[in-house]
Amino acid sequence: MAHIALFHSILGRRSVEHLAVERWRRAGHEAVAVDLFDGATAAGIDDGFALIDRIGWDTVVDNGRRGLADMPDETVLAGLSMGTGVVCELLPERPGTAGILLLHAFPELPAGVTTGLRAQVHVAEPDEFARSGQLPSLRQAAEDADMAMEIFRYQGAGHFYIDRDLPDYDPEATELTWRRMLTFLDGS
């Protein structure tokens, strides 16, 4: 059984995060969806950026930190789009992290990542928030940190392809992503 903390996208904590937590729990894991925006949600990406400007990035990260306060050191950190940035901000503070699951964005890996950390990255192809040109530096950073990183691209899927409430939703890519994530978690 894995413990998982999920950090939401720029749209706020919505049904997609709650459904993810439910699915992980049905698979036998402990999971929480951390609220980074104190209950606020955004109607779209531009509104989400305005919300972050109002709340402040430091507060968003502090909310993530508070959401992890009662979680075990070996908690798997998961992020959706903007949430991948929160994962990467908090990762250096949590050397016991069992793994990271990152969806809808390529991360900028922080310095000091624990050697051997397991990671999965799931992104659409093409995706403006996960451009192919970013792959070489991501692979190099993972190699430099001796990470076991798997990167999966989903051809023709939209940016938020796992969110059934958005036009980007792609049921086939979503199910494949879930199979891969559950296999990953079984190894945690």
Residue-wise pLDDT tens digits, 45-59: 999 999 999 999 999
Query: What SS3 class is residue 31?
Result: strand
Encoding tokens for residue 64? 């993530």
How many Å apart are CA 151 and CA 124, to the nearest integer?
Answer: 11
Q: 46-55, 105-114, 170-179 — which is least confidently predicted?
A: 105-114
Asked if 130 and 105 touch (Cβ cutoff 8 Å), the reply is yes
For every residue of 5-17, DSSP letters joined together read: EEE--TT-S-HHH
End-to-end CA distance of the chain: 8
Predicted TM-score (pTM) of this structure: 0.95
Q: Report the pLDDT averaged over residues 90-96.
A: 94
